[in-house]
A = this chain, B = another copy of it.
Amino acid sequence: MVTMRDVAAEAGVSAMTVSNALTGRRPVSEPTRKLVLETVERLGYQVNVTARSLRQGRTGVVGIAVPTLDSHYYSRLSHLLIQAFAESGTASVVEETHASREGEIAAFRDSRLNAYDGLVIAALGLTEREIDALSRDVPVVVLGEQELHHTVDHVSMPNVAGAEAATRLLLDRGCRDLALVGFPSLDDRDELTQPEGAAFALRARGFSRALQGTGVSARAVHAGVTQAAGAQCVQDLLATGGVPDGVFCVTDTLAFGVVRELANHGVRVPDDVLVVGFDDVEDAQFHIPSLTSVAPDLDELIARTVHLLRQRIADPGTRPHEVTVSYRLVERESTRRPGR
């Protein structure tokens, strides 16, 4: 392997000068600079980032820790974060936490070990207290859903407001027998063993708020977070009280499973039941029927996240920020009642 020393010897300068010519950290005379760069080119030298990192105490890489990449939402989020960091000149790598406490602790540990200069984490398994403690050593932005003690930068989704708006739409369209799919109870204090618990509890709270004082009946079902889980929820609804006339799903993924399983039972959307999802993943526009969904402003989410992390890396002392991004309710076929 060609090292900086080899280049220096070949060019007849010191390693320092090679380093300076390459990084531009200190000025180098133009002829020397040209000579060095030519030699670098000729020998095919490439800087050893491990050595640089050890010396500098930082790697120039930020970590992105998400529960899983096997999810339309989190894979897209990771993609957008990578893009945005790249545009601001920062390399990033993605790590899966499997939504587990252990996986999330590992992400913090990897950051602290100089592997990353900063961390964006969609934390689902850790408690607020644990995040507070772990984030002391590492510049971190927490994405998502927890209600933290304001000791760490936090960018969250419009869970309550978005869910409330979605549910209001169902009420406005005349629904009087609603179902909440994806959270086991209408009381958001009920704990959910699923790690997405906190986010989904807030969406359940929005659902319940919209119902307050309306006298509209509602049931809650939960079977997991996948499309198959959405299908299972429909079976549970059918078994326990028949078909509702409106369904709010805490994610689009669940909604796709719901619509599909309703079709398996001959129940049509929107003719017989109206359905709304949350996240507005790309597929929502392409399904048949296309899916009405709460669309959080991902551009805002990404921009704020990248900005906050860069700021915290640059100045770890700044006061933590709390951001909730805005949303739009995008109405599509799944809530357009034909002929009413």
Contact = CB atoms under 8 A, between A and B. Distances in A.
Interface residues of A, number: 44
B68 A79 contact: yes
A288 B227 CA distance: 13
Interface string A58-96: 010000000011111001101110110000000001111
A109 B46 contact: yes
Contact of A75 (B46, B51, B69, B256): B69
Interface in A263-288: 263, 282-283, 285-288
B114 A48 contact: yes
A70 B79 contact: yes
A238 interface: no
A50 interface: yes
21 contacts: A46-B109, A46-B112, A48-B54, A49-B113, A50-B50, A50-B113, A69-B69, A69-B76, A69-B78, A70-B79, A71-B75, A93-B95, A94-B94, A227-B282, A227-B285, A256-B287, A260-B285, A260-B286, A260-B290, A287-B287, A287-B288
B76 A70 contact: yes
Contacts of A260: 285-288, 290
Interface in A283-311: 283, 285-288, 290
Query: How many copies of the chain does the oligomer comprise?
Result: 2
Nearest to A83: B96
Interface string A205-246: 000000000000000000000010001000000000000000
A13 interface: no
A53 interface: yes
- The 5 A-B residue pairs whose C-beta atoms are closest, nearest first, are A75-B75, A93-B93, A70-B79, A69-B79, A260-B286
Contact of A79 (B49, B54, B96, B231): B96
A115 interface: yes
Contact of A82 (B54, B69, B83, B113): B69
A113 B48 contact: yes
A109 B46 CA distance: 9
